[in-house]
Amino acid sequence: MRIVNATIYSWQGLRAAYAHEEAFRQEIWACLLLVPLGLYLGDGGVEKALLVGSAILLPLVEILNSAIEATVDRIGGERHELSGRAKDMGSAAVALAILLLAVTWALILFF
């Protein structure tokens, strides 16, 4: 029963992210393009895994960033240094995921 509940909660989380987070929607649509493209362009299992994995990592990190932002916003609306730092760090994680995706794809496809 725990696995069933975990699956339901995960699905609810994906639906909530898609409904409320524009960046997540954009990244999901990019994944729908990049995952099949990565499977096609990758030469062997390792390259395919790197291309597909780096594409899937981006919306994964976006969900974590959105969870951080929602938690901080829920705790309080006043400006606080730690709240700002938490949000900035979540945003930095997304930026690093984008960089990882770009570097991975560039190195595999162009070098």
**Residue matched to tokens 């995960």:** 10
Amino acid at 50: L
Give the CA distances from residue 39 to residues 9, 34, 59, 101, in Å, rounded to whole numbers and listed in that order. Answer: 29, 8, 18, 15
Any catalytic annotation for residue 62? yes
Spatial separation of the C-alpha atoms in residues 100 and 111, rounded to whole Å: 16
Catalytic pick among 21, 27, 62, 69: 62
Check: CB of residue 93 under 8 Å from CB of residue 61.
Answer: yes
Q: Which residues are catalytic?
A: 62
